[in-house]
Amino acid sequence: MIDARILPLQRAVLQPVARLLARRGVRADAISLIGFLAGLGAFIGLCFGAWLLALVLVLCNRLMDGLDGAVARIQGPTDRGAYLDIALDMVFYALIPLGFAVQAPAVHALPAAVLIVSFVGTGSSFLAFSAVATKRGKRRRSFPRRASITQED
DSSP E strand stretches across the chain: none
Q: Calculate the CA 136 to chain-centre distance.
A: 25
Q: For residue 136, name the pLDDT band (cuts at 50, 70, 90).
A: confident
135 found inside a domain: no
Residue 153 CB contacts under 8 Å (≥ 6 apart), including other chains: 140, 141, 142
The domain that contains 74 carries what CATH number? 1.20.120.1760
Predicted pLDDT of residue 28: 97
How many Å apart are CA 75 and CA 95, to the nearest integer?
30
pLDDT digits (tens, 9 = 90+) for 5-46: 787 888 889 999 999 999 999 999 999 999 999 999 999 999
Predicted pLDDT of residue 150: 35
Predicted pLDDT of residue 153: 29
Q: How many domains does the chain have?
A: 1
27 found inside a domain: yes
pLDDT digits (tens, 9 = 90+) for 37-79: 999 999 999 999 999 999 999 999 999 999 999 999 999 999 9
pLDDT digits (tens, 9 = 90+) for 87-119: 999 999 999 999 999 999 999 999 999 999 999
Predicted pLDDT of residue 141: 57
| Model pTM score | 0.82
Please give the span between the terminal C-alpha atoms of the chain, in angstroms, as a whole number.
Answer: 12
Helix 2-23 × helix 51-75 angle, to 10°: 70
How many Å apart are CA 110 and CA 116, to the nearest integer?
10
- For residue 94, what are the domain limits? 2-105
